[in-house]
Amino acid sequence: MTGRCVVEEERRVRANAREYNEKFQYASNCIKTSKYNIVTFLPVNLFEQFQEVANTYFLFLLILQLIPQISSLSWFTTIVPLVLVLTITAVKDATDDYFRHKSDNQVNNRQSQVLIGGVLRQEQWMNVRVGDIIKLENNQFVAADLLLLSSSEPHGLCYIETAELDGETNMKVRQAIPVTAELGDTSQLACFDGEVICEPPNNKLDKFGGTLYWKDNKYPLSNQNMLLRGCVLRNTEWCFGLVIFAGPDTKLMQNSGRTKFKRTSIDRLMNTLVLWIFGFLVCMGVILAIGNAIWEHEVGVCFQIYLPWDEGVHSAFFSGFLSFWSYIIILNTVVPISLYVSVEVIRLGHSYFINWDKKMYCAKRRTPAEARTTTLNEELGQVEYIFSDKTGTLTQNIMVFSKCSVNGHSYGDVQDMLGHKAELGERPEPVDFSFNPLADPRFQFWDPSLLEAVKLGDLHVHEFFRLLSLCHTVMSEEKSEGELLYKAQSPDEGALVTAARNFGFVFRSRTPKTITVQELGQAITYQLLAILDFNNIRKRMSVIVRSPEGKIRLYCKGADTILLERLHPLNQELTSITTDHLNEYAGEGLRTLVLAYRDLEESYYKDWSERLHRAGSVPEAREDHLARLYDEVEHDMMLLGATAIEDKLQQGVPETIAILTLANIKIWVLTGDKQETAVNIGYSCKMLTDDMTEVFVVTGHTVLEVREELRKAREKMMDASRSVCNGFSYQEKLSSKLTSVLEAIAGEYALVINGHSLAHALEADMEVEFLETACACKAVICCRVTPLQKAQVVELVKKYKKAVTLAIGDGANDVSMIKTAHIGVGISGQEGIQAVLASDYSFSQFKFLQRLLLVHGRWSYLRMCKFLCYFFYKNFAFTMVHFWFGFFCGFSAQTVYDQYFITLYNIVYTSLPVLAMGVFDQDVPEQRSMEYPKLYEPGQLNLLFNKREFFICIAQGIYTSILMFFIPYGVFADATRDDGAQLADYQSFAVTVATSLVIVVSVQIGLDTGFWTAINHFFIWGSLAAYFTILFTMHSDGLFRMFPNQFRFVGNAQNTLAQPTVWLTIALTAVVCIVPVVAFRFLKLDLKPELSDTVRYTQLVRKKQKTQHRCMRNAGRAGSRRSGYAFSHQEGFGELIMSGKNMRLSSLALSSFAPRPSASWIDTLRKKKGGEGSGAGSPSGAADKTLRV
């Protein structure tokens, strides 16, 4: 927002006064996520590209090559590949930005109705201004952050869905303040000139503070009066709102985070290595320049007659100075620009493999996986931390009534003919509800005995479903006769009311004072006397109703830990049986509720009702008074039973989390949902288990409380660790990896922290303590977090752990987290496409993450590392020959090879084989990558390409160059041709060395290739054939006749390669270069095999023995009682219903795995790295070879 240079302290907005509001220079409603425009693209993009060290380096070389006094190579050898690289990158960046522009335009050009001059006009979103009054209609997106003025609903109510903001798909209620709620038509609103003074733009989604000044009165404003951009208006015909924040000032955009340019760790390492290589290049140049100066001073001066100095060279020192720059140009091929072209091609190939993977294609949604960037593929093989949203990412956000316990009898388990529990695949047909014309056809239940109990008139079952049909805050809309649509504030309640509906107890409609239920075909209207609303402390809700017979009864449903304490002593035996059922349900990860009732005497109810009325009118401590009265009446209840709801996980989530955990990937869940919801899902997807030593819950509201809770958690972990290890002192990690012995603790722990506590934990003086505690835990769940807090948690781990992070989510509330992480993954789900648009990779189901990381990510990392190792090797072997030759040519910057070989070496002779390896290579098949998650750990430890591996590669390259030069040199010193003539001449030597080089590097690429395809064969042998074809062509008569000045050495290749001595020399050179490599690899394979070697060997043995694969066993866990009461429920809905404010005037209906021993070799390497401890190592080396995880 240009023009705003002063930090905004408060915002003043006057309705219908554009001129007044414009003097504050507030942001317009136009959003911009793109980086370039037509004018800035070229300069900005080139500036970004030349921030790459390599591009700057090659530009510098190009400038040198344009100086004739020092250039011994043509300028086109550098400018062509440099322009190619810059162009390819620019096209890719332009394409990405084009789609960002397209997305921005799509949003900015949405239409909105703006009240201008007393008339509603259609305006584009980007033309909406602060202070405008706009009209929204049902199912429309909110265009900006609005103060709700009035709506079509009574009392200025409206209903919104906030999935784009917080990921929750349940409905929320907003209400206009009474003074504006009556402004229902445009003429009244056109005269409205109220002024709002409020807080400045911020990212707090759940808070808003301000005051409306109008007609000499002031009215307080809160978040309940606000409609935020990104929300969708639901079940409300229309509403009017005053724009308070627009465009980048809206809370949605304030939480979106900035687009960050992402680089892989290999990119950063390559930048460092390029600087090192440049330093090495300068050192070689200095050595050869000094040699040139000495040679010219001592020897060259004697040969001035036929070896005169070039024009302008008057001293040996100046000759050495020019020689330095000449050698910089000649030796620059240690890092050719073709390296960067090849890297981009390989990454592009890996991206297409992800896009084309049929096993990551969702047929149901017709959605393939998509690599939306090509620059991060190999980093997928190095992920250590995954940050996941819950709703819509781990779960489908679909609640299903799964099981229930009624009067000590459990329903929901399906039994086969033998009376055993049927497996999932053996389920018979679902229960037939055709007897009930009002049944929801989408509802399925598998135990027919429950329906039989209903039909047989079981009073307990009838009362059970009567409670479910009465005790709720659901709204019902009957669009046509018999077509019911329930609008539940939480999906849990919707599932329970739908279950009662299908079993014959159909909730039809409600008024502020009645509830109408159709019980087994008979319509019955109950008088609604009171709703005792849910809140997080009570963890229960109750209704008090009067039946047509005049009987007053309280129905209550709530968390088992709360309700079981409030039962009448007569329920002891039933309580014991029901508790066993609850444990069984919780063991299966189901969300449980306990149901109970109590009959009330008329006299008692009257007295209690009067006291309730008095308490409700007391302004001071109203909540405390009500809570005491609620507590009084909810006692001595009779137990009816329990329900078990399945919050449907996405398919394959528990298995995926278990496999990723075995790969030493830590998974943190960051969700906007409540603690109970998140914890239950944690158990469902096996992140949390009863085998864990302890689950720490941090709920402190102050800095001191949070610090104390974190301290106690660390102390417990340390005490347990000391007791297990009997005083064994763990070696501390390196400070760069957050010095902490906590990471080597014994036992498994989990941490659950609430959003308000997290806000304190993320403060600068406590963030390290929080991170220490969290990283010592196997699982971390952060609840009720804002989008910005999600990003802050990711940034915290990035800052201190130096580990690769991945964030995965499906809603707009996940965008900030996705942009902050090293890798962002978007789930194309129920909550729009904001997350997908901001992501680096996208697919439709969480389970595909396993394949993305363990197969595509691991392979991409492996291929890129092998490619880089080989590339540096072959180029050092190629280039260092010039260095050795310098000592025998008077340091004159004479090249060993002709310039056409130098130009074609990296473009033709050696480019395609290494590209084929970089694109297609595999160490083990994809099935083994999934079966053996430990194979993923070398990428996390960065073992396959690091500074040590780089030095090994260049050492091998230098060793090869020495043999490549000195063996032919030694042979040619005394060798003769078949006719007795001297064999040694410059061109024959050049052909011999070049041929040896091409053969040796071709054999080396064959040894490095682990997975042979027809393409590998074609490229390797084809490159060799291309070399000999071009070689003989360049030394042919035809080219000499056409270009006599360019191709002078006619027939040299034919004559040289016709000599047996030359071929023996080439063979000797190849053998001496390759045999040590082969010997070393055989010894390494035998003495210290890697896990991938062991897996390959195991597979060979299995094939020979034709043994069957062992299947993974599903580890069960003991049950525990977990309450899942109304996880997405909000306080206050009951009071709203009783007041009648939300009733339409026209209609009363409203629309695991067991703990594992770690492979000791991985533990050793991890300790060397100073990284994350993965638990106690296996004491036996043999265990590493036989371990199957």
443 contacts 468 by C-beta, under 8 angstroms? no
Please name the helix (run of DSSP H) or strand (run of DSSP E) that holds residue 169, with its range, or none.
none
**d(C-alpha 921, C-alpha 913), whole Å:** 11
pLDDT recorded at residue 577? 95
Kindly list the averaged pLDDT for each block of 10 residues, start to end, along the chain of length 1189: 60 93 91 86 88 78 79 68 80 84 88 90 93 93 94 84 68 85 88 92 83 90 89 89 94 72 82 87 93 86 74 79 88 79 88 93 86 89 92 77 94 68 62 90 90 93 96 81 78 90 93 89 93 80 94 93 90 93 81 92 93 74 82 94 87 90 92 77 84 88 92 86 50 39 69 90 90 91 86 92 90 83 84 73 91 95 95 94 92 85 86 93 90 92 92 95 94 77 81 95 94 93 94 81 71 85 94 94 88 83 62 41 49 61 41 36 47 38 35
In degrees rounded to 5, what are phi and psi of residue 1188?
-125, 110
**d(C-alpha 554, C-alpha 471), whole Å:** 9
291 contacts 891 by C-beta, under 8 angstroms? yes
pLDDT recorded at residue 485? 84
546: tokens are 């009067």
373: tokens are 């960037």
Burial of 748 (C-beta count, 10 Å sphere; 0-12/13-18/19+) = middle
Q: Which of 566, 561, 562, 558 is nearest to 594 (CA)?
A: 558
551 contacts 560 by C-beta, under 8 angstroms? no
CA angle 740/1171/1081 to nearest 5° reads 155
774 contacts 193 by C-beta, under 8 angstroms? no
Length of the chain: 1189
Q: Which of 951, 861, 938, 939 is nearest to 1161 (CA)?
A: 938
Q: Which amino acid is at 250?
A: T
Sheet holding 210-214, edge to edge: 11-14, 195-198, 210-214, 217-221
**d(C-alpha 399, C-alpha 498), whole Å:** 10
**What is the distance, to the nearest Å, from the Cα of residue 254 to the centroid of all Cα atoms in its chain?**
20
Please name the helix (run of DSSP H) or strand (run of DSSP E) that holds residue 807, with its range, or none.
strand 804-809
Q: Which of 636, 565, 558 is nearest to 601 (CA)?
A: 636
Report pLDDT digits (tens) over 1175-1189: 333 333 333 333 333
**d(C-alpha 192, C-alpha 902), whole Å:** 79
The sign of the CA dihedral 922, 927, 930, 932 is negative
1126 contacts 492 by C-beta, under 8 angstroms? yes
Return the DSSP state at 732.
Answer: P
Q: Which amino acid is at 798?
A: K
730: tokens are 């763990």
pLDDT recorded at residue 746? 62
For residue 264, the SS3 value is: coil
Q: What number of other Cβ atoms are within 10 A of residue 171's Cβ?
A: 20
**d(C-alpha 599, C-alpha 553), whole Å:** 4
279: tokens are 């330093």
Residues 6+ apart with CB under 8 A from 676: 539, 559, 1123, 1124, 1125, 1127
**d(C-alpha 211, C-alpha 482), whole Å:** 46
Q: What number of other Cβ atoms are within 10 A of residue 1112's Cβ?
A: 13
Report pLDDT digits (tens) over 93-113: 888 788 888 888 888 999 999
158 contacts 151 by C-beta, under 8 angstroms? yes
The sign of the CA dihedral 921, 925, 928, 933 is positive
pLDDT recorded at residue 261? 67
**d(C-alpha 1044, C-alpha 1050), whole Å:** 9
CA angle 1119/1122/1128 to nearest 5° reads 145
Please name the helix (run of DSSP H) or strand (run of DSSP E) that holds residue 418, with its range, or none.
none
**d(C-alpha 432, C-alpha 243), whole Å:** 52
178: tokens are 């009474």
**d(C-alpha 1094, C-alpha 702), whole Å:** 53
Task: Output the CA–CA distances (angstroms, integers) from residue 935 to 64, 435, 586, in the order listed.
Answer: 46, 56, 34
Strand blocks (E) in 200-286: 210-214, 217-221, 226-227, 232-234, 238-245
Alpha helices in 471-565 (DSSP H): 491-502, 560-563
pLDDT recorded at residue 1113? 42
> For the stretch 719-740, what's the b/e string if a residue is b when 16 or more beta carbons lie within 10 angstroms of its beta carbon?
ebbeeeeeeeeeeebeeebbeb
**d(C-alpha 347, C-alpha 343), whole Å:** 6
Beta-bridged to residue 519, according to DSSP, are 505, 522
CA angle 771/1165/1174 to nearest 5° reads 45
The sign of the CA dihedral 1115, 1121, 1126, 1129 is negative
**d(C-alpha 215, C-alpha 652), whole Å:** 60
Q: Which of 1099, 1115, 1096 is nearest to 1107 (CA)?
A: 1099
Active site residue 1086: no
39: tokens are 């004018």
Q: Which of 108, 183, 100 is nearest to 141 (CA)?
A: 108
Number of H helices, E strands in the chain: 42, 33
Please name the helix (run of DSSP H) or strand (run of DSSP E) that holds residue 998, with its range, or none.
helix 986-1008
CA-based max dimension of the chain: 131
User: Terminus-to-terminus CA distance in the chain, angstroms?
Assistant: 54
Return the DSSP state at 742.
Answer: G
In degrees rounded to 5, what are phi and psi of residue 392?
85, -15
pLDDT recorded at residue 417? 55
Sheet holding 157-161, edge to edge: 171-175, 157-161, 232-234
**d(C-alpha 825, C-alpha 845), whole Å:** 11
Burial of 770 (C-beta count, 10 Å sphere; 0-12/13-18/19+) = buried
**d(C-alpha 1120, C-alpha 319), whole Å:** 85
Beta-bridged to residue 696, according to DSSP, are 751
pLDDT recorded at residue 1115? 40
pLDDT recorded at residue 1119? 40
Please name the helix (run of DSSP H) or strand (run of DSSP E) that holds residue 517, with its range, or none.
strand 514-519
pLDDT recorded at residue 647? 75
pLDDT recorded at residue 1151? 32
Q: Which residue has the tokens 């053969």?
A: 999
Task: Output the CA–CA distances (angstroms, integers) from residue 402 to 370, 395, 420, 436, 465, in the order listed.
Answer: 35, 16, 18, 20, 14
**d(C-alpha 21, C-alpha 197), whole Å:** 12
In degrees rounded to 5, what are phi and psi of residue 894?
-80, 135
* Rg of the chain in Å (alpha carbons): 37
Beta strands 552-558 and 540-546: pairing type? antiparallel
pLDDT recorded at residue 394? 83
Among 249, 389, 533, 810, the active-site one is: 389
